[in-house]
């Protein structure tokens, strides 16, 4: 079951500059910065009320964010829905014909298990499912 929009991911060229902009915009400090080596991204999180903004900067040229920014300007990248059981949701969505980028959840930033759905099957939106790690 989807519980809420957990965060919006925004691809940026310069994360330090972007943190400053979003801290002022949201009147909220960046509470976490984290590098996810497996994804080639540096992330920063800022609360937006009960949801969050996730800023993403590429750490290498093979990163999905680097590829995105080679084709698009910086800006909206993905929406993340928090679910109560990510394994069950992936199974359900696969059964419904959605194209999964990750067949099984992987370890993401901010203490989450995550998996992405391909925009081809979501009317153009890159969708992340996430669930807080229990341990
Ligand atoms: Zn995300």
Average pLDDT score, the chain: 96
Distance 110 CA to ligand 1 centre (A): 9
**10-residue mean pLDDT series, the chain (135 residues):** 96 98 98 93 96 97 95 97 97 97 93 96 97 86
Ligand 1 centre from 80 Cα, in Å?
Answer: 6
pLDDT score at 135:
63
CA distance 9 to 123: 17
**Predicted local confidence at residue 134, as pLDDT:** 83
23-42 residue pLDDT tens? 999 999 999 999 998 889 99
**The model's pTM:** 0.94
- C-alpha distances (whole Å) from 1 to each of 19, 88, 119 are 31, 9, 20
C-alpha 95 to ligand 1 mean position (Å): 23
Q: How far is the CA of 115 from the centre of ligand 1 (A)?
A: 9
Backbone CA torsion sign across 80, 5, 34, 41: positive
Give the pLDDT confidence score for residue 13 in this predicted structure: 97
Q: Alpha-carbon distance 115 to 126, whole Å?
A: 11
């Amino acid at each position: 079951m989807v519980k809420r929009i957990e965060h919006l991911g925004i691809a940026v060229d310069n994360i330090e500059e972007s943190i400053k902009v979003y801290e002022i915009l949201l009147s909220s400090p960046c509470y976490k910065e984290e590098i996810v080596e497996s994804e080639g991204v540096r992330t920063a999180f800022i609360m937006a009320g009960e949801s969050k903004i996730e800023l993403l900067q590429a750490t290498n040229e093979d990163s999905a964010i680097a590829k995105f920014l080679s084709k698009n300007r910086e800006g909206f990248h993905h929406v993340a829905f928090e679910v109560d059981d990510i394994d069950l949701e992936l199974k359900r969505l696969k059964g419904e014909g959605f194209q999964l980028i990750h067949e099984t959840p992987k370890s993401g930033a901010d203490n989450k298990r995550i998996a992405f759905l391909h925009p081809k099957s979501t009317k153009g939106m890159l969708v992340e499912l996430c669930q807080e790690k229990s341990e």
